[in-house]
C-alpha cells in the first residue's frame, strides 16, 4: 500500500506529465504556418487575365482571385488556384442588382434571389476545385445591426447544407464604412465573429481585410491572434490610400504576416492594394516580397 507521501508524489508526477502533454499539444497547434501568395485581379484591370497569369507565376503567386466561372479555365491552364471566387449578381425588382456589396444577405427580401444565384456558383466553384466563395452583408439602410445579424444568419443557413456537401466555404468580407463602402453592415470584426458563432458552421467564415479593418478598428495583430479561427482568408492594402504596402503607409506588414503565420494559418494571402506606380507588376512583386516572412 502507498503511503500518503508517495501517493501525493505519484499524483504530482502524473499531473506534471499531463500538464507537459497539454502544453506540447497547444504548441503543436500553434506551430507557425506559411501563407501562400495570391492577388486580386480587379486591381489590374488593364492587364488581360492570360498575361496576368504568366506574370503571376513569375512573381511567385499561387493564386489569382475574385474571378468568375468564365475565368476558371484560364487560371487552371497556368497551374494557378483561385483562392476566393467572386460574388454572383442577379437582377431584383426594378432592375436592382442583388449580390454586390450594398445588396446582400441582411435583407430577407433578397434571400430567394441570392440562393438562386449562389447555388450554381457554389457548384461550379467546387467542380473547378475552388473552395471559397465571397459574400456580403449588404448596407444597413436604417436597419439595426442586431436585425441584420438575424437576417444574415437566416438566409445563409439555407446554403450551408450545400456548402457542406460540396466542401465549399462561404466567406463574408469585413469592409470599412468610413472611406470606401459607406453604410456597409459587416464593418467590424466583432459583428462578423458574432455571425460566425450564430451560424456555428465551419462552412461560413470571414475574410479579414487588413486595410479595411485598420481603418475601422485598428488593433490588427491582437484581433488576428484572438479571432483567427473565424478568418478563412486575408487581404492586404496600404493605409491610407489603399496603395502599395511599403514604407509609404502606416502598417507593418511583415509583423502582421508573422502574427498570421503564428496562428498556424497556411491559406492564401490576397494582395488587394491598387498600385499607384506605373509598373504595377513591380509593385505586386514588391508586395509579395514584403509579405514573404520566414
DSSP secondary structure of 211-245: HHHHHHT--HHHHHHHHGGGEEEEE---TTTS--S
Q: How many Å separate Cα 40 from the centre of its chain? A: 12
Residue with cell 504556418: 33
Determine the Cα–Cα distance for residues 206 and 134; give it in Å rounded to an integer.
9
274, 242 contact by CB (below 8 A)? yes
Beta carbons of 213 and 174 less than 8 angstroms apart: yes
Question: For position 32, what pLDDT does the model report?
Answer: 78
Cell of 16: 506534471
Whether 231 contacts 173, CB under 8 Å: no
Q: Write out the H or E segment, with its range, that includes residue 283.
A: helix 280-290
C-alpha cell at 209: 481585410
**Class of 31-290 in CATH:** alpha beta
Asked, as a colleague might, if the bond just before 240 is cis with ω within 30 of 0, I would say: yes
How far is it, in rounded angstroms, from Cα 130 to Cα 72? 9
Q: What is the number of other CB atoms lying within 10 angstroms of the CB of residue 56?
A: 26
164 and 149 Cβ atoms separated by less than 8 Å: no
**CA dist., res. 244 & res. 274, Å (int):** 7
Contact 81, 62 (CB under 8 A): yes
Per-residue pLDDT in tens (0 to 9) along the chain, 294 residues: 444 444 444 444 334 344 334 433 333 444 578 999 999 999 999 999 999 999 999 999 999 999 999 999 999 999 999 999 999 999 999 999 999 999 999 999 999 999 999 999 999 999 999 999 999 999 999 999 999 999 999 999 999 999 999 999 999 999 999 999 999 999 999 999 999 999 999 999 999 999 999 999 999 999 999 999 999 999 999 999 999 999 999 999 999 999 999 999 999 999 999 999 999 999 999 999 999 998
The Cα–Cα gap between 162 and 57 comes to 33
Residue 88's closest CA among 165, 181, 159? 159
Q: How far apart are the C-alpha atoms of 265 and 191, rounded to whole Å?
A: 22
Q: What is the pLDDT of residue 31?
A: 57
Amino acid at each position: 500500500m502507498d503511503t500518503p507521501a508517495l501517493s501525493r508524489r505519484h499524483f504530482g508526477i502524473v499531473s506534471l506529465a499531463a500538464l507537459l502533454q497539454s502544453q506540447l499539444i497547444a504548441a503543436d497547434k500553434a506551430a507557425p504556418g506559411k501563407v501562400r501568395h495570391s492577388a486580386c485581379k480587379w486591381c489590374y484591370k488593364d492587364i488581360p487575365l492570360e498575361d496576368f497569369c504568366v506574370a503571376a507565376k513569375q512573381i511567385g503567386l499561387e493564386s489569382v482571385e475574385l474571378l468568375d466561372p468564365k475565368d476558371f479555365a484560364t487560371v487552371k491552364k497556368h497551374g494557378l488556384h483561385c483562392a476566393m471566387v467572386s460574388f454572383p449578381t442577379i437582377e431584383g425588382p426594378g432592375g436592382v442588382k442583388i449580390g454586390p456589396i450594398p445588396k446582400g444577405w441582411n435583407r430577407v427580401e433578397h434571400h430567394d434571389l441570392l440562393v438562386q444565384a449562389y447555388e450554381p456558383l457554389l457548384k461550379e466553384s467546387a467542380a473547378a476545385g475552388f473552395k471559397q466563395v465571397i459574400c456580403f452583408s449588404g448596407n444597413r439602410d436604417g436597419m439595426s445591426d442586431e436585425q441584420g445579424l438575424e437576417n444574415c444568419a437566416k438566409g445563409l443557413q439555407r446554403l450551408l447544407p450545400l456548402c457542406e456537401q460540396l466542401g465549399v466555404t462561404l466567406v463574408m468580407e469585413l469592409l470599412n464604412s468610413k472611406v470606401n463602402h459607406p453604410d456597409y453592415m459587416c464593418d467590424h470584426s466583432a459583428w462578423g465573429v458574432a455571425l460566425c458563432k450564430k451560424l456555428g458552421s465551419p462552412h461560413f467564415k470571414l475574410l479579414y481585410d487588413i486595410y479595411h479593418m485598420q481603418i475601422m478598428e485598428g488593433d490588427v495583430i491582437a484581433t488576428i491572434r484572438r479571432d483567427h479561427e473565424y478568418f478563412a482568408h486575408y487581404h492586404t492594402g496600404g493605409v491610407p490610400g489603399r496603395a502599395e504596402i511599403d514604407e509609404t503607409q502606416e502598417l507593418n506588414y511583415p509583423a502582421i504576416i508573422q502574427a498570421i503565420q503564428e496562428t498556424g494559418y497556411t491559406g492564401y494571402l490576397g494582395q488587394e492594394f491598387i498600385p499607384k506606380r506605373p509598373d504595377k507588376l513591380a509593385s505586386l512583386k514588391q508586395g509579395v516580397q514584403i509579405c514573404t516572412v520566414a
